[in-house]
Chains A and B, each alone.
Chain A
Amino acid sequence: MNDRLSALLASRPLRRLLIAVGALALLGALFSLLYPLVFETYVGKVNAPLTFSSSQTLNDDEFEALAAELSWSARHAAAAAIVGGDPESFERQVKIEMLMQTPSRMREHEPSHIKYFRDAGIRRYEGPKTCLECHATMRVRDQEGRAQVVDTLDDLVNSVHFKFQSDAGGGFSTFGYDGRRVNAPGTRPIPIGKINRACGIPGSFSWTGWAALIAARPEAAQGAIEMRSEGCGQCHIGGNYQPATEKMMPIGDVPEVAKEGIDCLICHAAEYDMNQRYVIEDSAGLRWNQDRSLRAALTVGQATTRNCLLCHQHNMGGDAYAHNEAAQALGEHNPRLLHKGAKRGNPFSPESDVHAAAGLLCTDCHVPQGHKIPRGLMGVDLVANDLPEVEVSCVKCHSEAPHNRSQHKALLNGHLDRLACTTCHVRSLEENNVVLRDWVHPTWDPEEGIFKATDIYRSGAVGQGFTFLWFNGNGTFLANALGNHPDGSSTYDPLMQQLARIEDPEVIAAVRARATELKETYPHIDIDDYVRAATDPLSQLTPEQLEQRRALLERNLRVHMDEGQSKLYPFKLFNAMMYEDLGNQGPFGAMILPFDYATYHETGDSQAAMIQAIRDPIVRRMYETPFKLYMMDEFMAYFGVAEGWRTQYPLASGELRDVEPRWMRQMGSLKISHGIQPVGRDCIECHSPNGILDYQGLGYSPERAAELQHLDIVENLRPAG
């Protein structure tokens, strides 16, 4: 053996090869050991082993008691759904008891994992580790029904729910203001998603706003401090000290300790306790707690609508929505802050949506493929998309002729060529739907005992909280719906009109009233200027910038507006005033700067909160050359700034440079797809002189607009049946 080895080593080329292989292996080992450390140091984010207090070991007796309780309540609920009669009567209770003891009910309604855990001796839920003992791999079926076995953890870690970004290399229906499709073949792909996008609704980045503990002084507590939880991590499933920043890089992966933080149960447990969702602090920093009780684990199954809504009702109905279950359980410690202004204001619940009322599951339309969940082909906002090729649409179930009840069904169906179903079947949004949010001038909320961003204008009314735009599935880099009148129009120009201007006198009056109120706290506010900037954000541009904006729109976006078949869709409108880095400004906006939640909500000093946030190491890195070359130059190109990213850090020795508060230069448009009403709009709502559709603004000729406003058919029909 030794002889053979020495013989091998005697051959010089072979010796060299062995040395090379050894060196490579050494390098690889060093890399996998060192890279995570280097990366963490570079971006200033940490990963550490995680513990959760709810993860407790039960003895066998405790286990059986819990199992009996869960089984009883599940079977009882199933039986009670069937047995009729007076709900309080003894007769009914006896019938329910009998029914729930039948073997078939035992078999079908007892949570399946009671048996599995009992047999496997699992008496403690330890996070993904426990799930993966059995579910290390899973079978995933694609749209065509082809099955594939994948690594479960891998599938999840690479899903949008974990990493909030899409795989570089396409799938976006988003176009930069430079006319290029984001990450299309031929471009240099950059990571895109909520991970790296500052947004005016939450007012921060996922990096800077992940988890915060806020010392609140509620009126009711008479000056005593109560800690409150806030941050993006309250919904996102990673239970770590930071979002999955590692996934932004072309190399490296999220470390194993971070993967151990994934909260499987929030999506899969029927009995997940949202009171366990609050911010905790340990030696490594702040992070979000989660429910890892055996109780929750024993009730796992396919994700149900309830599971999805634990997080998603927050951005659909909103935290203040009466039927938001999660908002009733804000945390047993450090309760979560309620966001009273709704992001979309279109709830999904039996009370507000016909599909929820029909018992449809979210996954009936958003049919998952493993842990990848489709959001459809029509995405206007630049957020990540797991399955960009998978359609989610009304006609998949409803056919091209969905109306069957009305006498005028054929005429109603006739509208499908021009109108999205939601245009008629979403009648209004929640009243607290926020349209204009001023982050720069916070308002004291005595009830909660914190400063909050001032919602200058909220409305769920048509024409005020949301409007109708032509949409062909394309969107801009700042979430503006693209489309055009199907017969072609050169006058329809949403980025100069519908999305850049508020003309409704009611809205303007409301904004003025709020500005007048604000002036009491912020005397320097000039009310006229304030109202103008908020309702006519283009007034903040110089004439040159305006000219450049028009030119870019015509040259780069017009062609993508004319693509495909546009229909009218409803879009929620939103604008925010934030601090902006005017060193990185283009005709469509500037880089907005995030806020540090604790500073912001505690002190109400928005500037100090902003300065605190941009001191975050990763924001500093953003203003350095590697980040510029890797990501930001391309980012700015899509932003309509051909000169690239300027690395001048806005904070020089404590002084701000080129930072000003601004309203974004146009409103974002968020597509409204839930809150579907069974009865749609009446004809007269659109086909009348003061209807909800501004035909001329939408590119109809004056003659055609007049014709559509005065339809004899509609007049003959009133009131429509």
Chain B
Amino acid sequence: MNAPSGHPRSPLDHVRAPRRVEWRALTNRAPPLALLAILLCLCAIPLPASVAASIASEGADTAHSPAAAERQACLRCHAMPTLAYREPTTGDIVSLHIDPHALADSVHGQLACLDCHRRSYRRYPHPERAAPREFDCIGCHRDDDADLGRQWLGIDAEFQRSVHAVSTSPRAANFDCHTCHDPHRFRPAAVGEPLTEIVARHNAVCLSCHRRLLEPQRRSHAWLPNRDAHWQAVRCIDCHTPPAREANHEVLAAEQTERNCVGCHSSDPRLLAGLYRFRSEEEIARRGLLAQALFNEAYVIGMSRSPLLDRLSLIILGLLILALAAHGIGRYLVHRAGRDSRGRA
């Protein structure tokens, strides 16, 4: 890392700071939300000092920081949308395009390219040996902040149990973090981002390999009512991870995945704990309970109900039955009294 440190705090830091506090508070409050924490820590984790400094320097003076200049030099070519070649062994088109906007928005957006890539990439033509040093997330993030560092290793442990790691299929060979997570566009879900977009973004990652699922003749997932609606509203991993524990990266093989409607369609659904819990916690914090109840953008059948309203409605129903019963008893008493008096008369 060669970014100079000691720059003044940038306006960008002010934007980030409250979110960071909020999420850390959240993870402290709800320890079981490991999954959530993993998601959040990507953004919330205090970056190494030098990176933070580079963020600061970016925010202060984007055009002139060395990291920015270096990114700009690389992006001169790599921002070309069609920068690509066909891999001779497979015939597949390999894109070398880096979307500059996505990169800028990503968690790595303020890094210099050579922080991760070989120094010899500074010049074009690049060296023939394309593979940079082994770097996956753990390579950089393992030594981070002590209490969050455990999460990185936790993710790695989850991944090592996942079908992606244990599969012997040749298609799963060399599967690593970057197979799914493009470090050039990786970012956690942002506050206010519509759920459907989060879901679409997540599932696009899965479908980029599992694209045959979308072929019209495929019967996969046919058991799932309203399959397409589910695919738009639920992340693949919401079903394809172990139900018992929250382990986002422990992706299960298809046959191990439970077909469990009630897992989501109930008052204590997995979705609430995962995807939607994140949303509701977020928004409750932002807008309060009532607004959350009224403006919930996503509805899951059997799940939308607020316990408060449910309880209220049951109480009203009970009261009605009580009132009717009282009315009936009254009528019966009057009837009996009338019969007695008539009898006496």
Chain A stretch 699-716: residues in CB contact (< 8 A) with chain B: 713, 716
Determine if A413 and B84 form an interchain contact, defined as CB atoms under 8 angstroms apart: yes
When the two chains form their complex, are residues B125 and A401 in contact, meaning their CB atoms are under 8 A apart? no
16 A-B residue pairs with CB within 8 Å: A399-B86, A399-B93, A400-B82, A400-B84, A401-B82, A401-B84, A401-B86, A404-B86, A404-B88, A410-B83, A410-B85, A411-B124, A414-B82, A414-B96, A417-B82, A716-B124
A703 → chain B, closest Cβ, in Å?
Answer: 12
The 6 A-B pairs at the shortest CB distance, nearest first, are namely A414-B80, A414-B83, A416-B82, A401-B84, A417-B82, A410-B85
A14 contacts chain B at the CB level, 8 A cutoff: no
Q: Is A717 an interface residue, CB under 8 A from the partner?
A: yes
Question: Would you call B48 an interface residue if the criterion is a C-beta within 8 Å of the partner chain's C-beta atoms?
Answer: no
Count of chain B residues with Cβ under 8 Å from any Cβ of A? 15
Residues of A within 8 A of B76 (CB): 713
Q: Which residues of A contact B96 (CB under 8 A)?
A: 410, 414
Q: How far is the CA of A263 from the CA of B298 in the complex (A)?
A: 66
Docked-complex contact B80 and A417, CB < 8 angstroms: yes
- Complex interface: chain A residues within 8 A of B80 (CB): 414-415, 417
A713 touches B77 (CB 8 A): yes
**Which residues of B (96-124) have their CB < 8 Å from a CB of A?**
96, 123-124
Residues in A whose Cβ lies below 8 Å from that of B86: 399, 401, 404
Contact assessment for A408 and B82 in the assembled complex, using a CB-CB cutoff below 8 Å: no
CB pair B125 A409 closer than 8 Å: no
A407 within 8 Å of B (CB atoms): yes
A408 to B83, CA, bound (A): 10
B83's closest neighbor in chain A, by CB? A414
CA gap between A151 and B82 in the complex, in Å: 45
Closest approach, in angstroms, between the C-beta of A442 and any C-beta of chain B? 49
CB distance from B35 to the nearest CB of A (A): 37
Which residue from chain B places its CB closest to the CB of A707 in the assembled complex? B76
User: Nearest chain-B residue to A410 (Cβ)?
Assistant: B85
Residues of chain B contacted by A400 (CB below 8 angstroms): 82, 84, 93
Main secondary structure of the interface of B (DSSP, over half): loop
Whether B81 is near chain A, meaning CB under 8 Å from some CB there, is yes
Q: Of the candidates B81, B83, B88, B93, which one forms a contact with A411 in the assembled complex, judged by CB atoms under 8 Å apart?
A: B83
Interface residues of A (CB under 8 A from B): 399-401, 403-404, 407-411, 413-417, 713, 716-717
Question: Contacts A399-B93, A401-B93, A411-B77 hold; do A717 and B125 have CB atoms under 8 A apart?
Answer: yes
- State in angstroms the CA–CA spacing of A401 and B80 once bound together: 12
> In angstroms, how far is the closest chain A Cβ from the Cβ of B284?
42
- The residues of B that contact A407 with a CB separation of less than 8 Å are 125
Contact across chains for B85 and A404 when beta carbons are under 8 A apart: yes
A416–B82 Cα distance when bound, in Å, is 6
Q: Which residues on A sit within 8 Å (CB–CB) of B88?
A: 404
Assembly CA distance A713 to B88 (angstroms): 25
Q: Which residues of B contact A410 (CB under 8 A)?
A: 83-85, 96
List, in ascending order, chain B residues with CB within 8 A of A417's CB.
80-82
Please report the C-alpha to C-alpha distance between residue A99 and residue B202 in the assembled complex, in whole angstroms: 63
Cα A413 to Cα B84 in complex, Å, equals 6
A413 touches B125 (CB 8 A): no
CA distance A717 to B126 in the complex (A): 12
> With a CB–CB cut-off of 8 A, which chain B residues contact A411?
77, 83, 124
Report how far A399 CA is from B83 CA in the complex, Å.
Answer: 13
Residue of B nearest to A404 (CB): B86
Known contacts: A399-B93, A401-B93. The answer to whether A713 contacts B85 by CB under 8 A is no
- A399 to B85 CA separation, bound complex (whole angstroms): 10
Once bound together, how far apart are the Cα atoms of A403 and B82, in whole Å? 11
Contact in complex: B85, A716 (CB < 8 Å): no
* Distance between Cα atoms of A20 and B81 in the complex (Å): 69
Residues of B within 8 A of A404 (CB): 85-86, 88
- In the complex, what distance in Å separates the CA atom of A403 from the CA atom of B123? 21
For B124, give the chain A residue with the smallest CB separation.
Answer: A713
Taking a contact as CB atoms under 8 Å apart, the answer to whether A414 and B124 are in contact is no
- In the complex, which residues of chain A have a beta carbon less than 8 angstroms from the beta carbon of B83? 410-411, 413-414
Give the chain A neighbours of B82 by CB distance below 8 A. 400-401, 413-417
The answer for the CA separation of A362 and B183 in the assembled complex, in Å, is 46
Bound Cα distance A716, B124 (Å): 8
Question: A414 vs B84: C-alpha distance in the bound complex, in angstroms?
Answer: 7
Across-interface contacts of B77 in A (CB, < 8 A): 411, 414, 713
Query: Across the interface, which residues of A come within 8 angstroms of B125, CB to CB?
Result: 407-408, 717
Q: How far is the CA of A399 from the CA of B91 in the complex (A)?
A: 11
Question: How many Å lie between the Cα of A413 and that of B85 in the bound state?
Answer: 7
> Once the chains are docked, how many angstroms separate the CA of A524 from the CA of B123?
63
A179 to B100 alpha-carbon distance, docked (Å): 35
Shortest CB distance B69–A (Å): 13
> CA of A408 to CA of B88 in the docked complex: distance in angstroms?
15
CA–CA, A413 to B96, complex, Å?
10
Q: Which residues of B contact A403 (CB under 8 A)?
A: 85
Q: Which residue of A lies closest to B97 (CB)?
A: A414
Min CB distance B248 to A, Å, is: 33
A404 to B80, CA, bound (A): 18
> Once bound together, how far apart are the Cα atoms of A413 and B123, in whole Å?
19
Known: A414-B83, A717-B124. 10 other contacts (CB 8 A): A403-B85, A404-B88, A409-B85, A410-B85, A414-B77, A414-B82, A417-B81, A417-B82, A713-B124, A716-B124
Q: How far is the CA of A717 from the CA of B77 in the complex (A)?
A: 14
- In the complex, how many angstroms separate the beta carbon of A397 from the nearest chain B beta carbon? 13
| Cα of A407 to Cα of B82 in the assembled complex, Å | 16
The docked-state distance in angstroms from the alpha carbon of A411 to that of B80 is: 9
Closest B residue to A408 by CB, please name it.
Answer: B125
Question: In whole angstroms, what is the CA distance A399 to B90 when docked?
Answer: 14
Q: Shortest distance in angstroms between A637's beta carbon and chain B's nearest beta carbon?
A: 39
Which chain A residues border B84 with CB–CB below 8 Å? Answer: 400-401, 410, 413-414
Chain B residues, CB < 8 A from A401: 82, 84-86, 93
Shortest distance from the beta carbon of B83 to any chain A beta carbon, whole Å: 4
**A residues less than 8 Å from B123 (CB atoms):** 716
State A149–B97 Cα separation when bound (angstroms): 47
Complexed CA–CA distance, A414 and B83 (Å):
4
Give the one of A410, A411, A713 with max B CB within 10 A: A410
For the complex, give the distance between the alpha carbons of A574 and B29 in Å. Answer: 75
Cα A403 to Cα B96 in complex, Å, equals 14
Interface positions, chain B 42-95, Cβ under 8 Å from A, are 76-77, 80-86, 88, 93
Q: How far is the CA of A409 from the CA of B125 in the complex (A)?
A: 11
Q: How far is the CA of A307 from the CA of B155 in the complex (A)?
A: 67
Shortest distance in angstroms between A12's beta carbon and chain B's nearest beta carbon? 62
Whole-angstrom CA separation of A336 from B79 in the bound complex: 55
Chain B nearest CB from A95 CB (Å) reads 39
Closest chain-B Cβ to A686's Cβ sits at a distance in Å of 15
B86 to A, closest residue via Cβ: A401
Q: Which residues of A lie under 8 Å from residue B81 when comparing CB positions?
A: 417
CB distance from B173 to the nearest CB of A (A): 24
Tell me which of B76, B77, B82, B84 has the highest count of chain A C-beta atoms within 10 A of its own C-beta. B82
Greatest chain A CB density within 10 A among B81, B93, B124 is at: B124
CA distance A400 to B81 in the complex (A): 10
Give Cα A415–Cα B79 distance, bound, in whole angstroms: 11
The CB with the most chain B CB atoms within 10 A, among A407, A414, A713, is that of: A414
Residues of B close to A416: CB separation below 8 A: 82
A544 and B340 alpha carbons, distance in the complex (Å): 112
Contacts of A409 in B (CB 8 A): 85
Residues of chain B with a CB closer than 8 A to A415's CB: 80, 82
Q: Which residues of A contact B85 (CB under 8 A)?
A: 401, 403-404, 409-410, 413
Bound CA–CA A408/B85 (angstroms):
9
Residue of B nearest to A409 (CB): B85
Assembly CA distance A591 to B86 (angstroms): 52
Q: Whole-angstrom distance from the CB of B181 to the nearest CB of chain A?
A: 23
Tell me the complex Cα distance, A411–B83, Å: 6
A413 to B94, CA, bound (A): 11
Residues of B within 8 A of A399 (CB): 86, 93
Interface centre among A407, A411, A716 (most CB of B within 10 A): A411
Q: Given the complex of chains A and B, what is the CA–CA distance between A401 and B86 in angstroms?
A: 6
Q: How far is the CA of A721 from the CA of B124 in the complex (A)?
A: 13
B93 proximity list for chain A (CB < 8 A)? 399-401
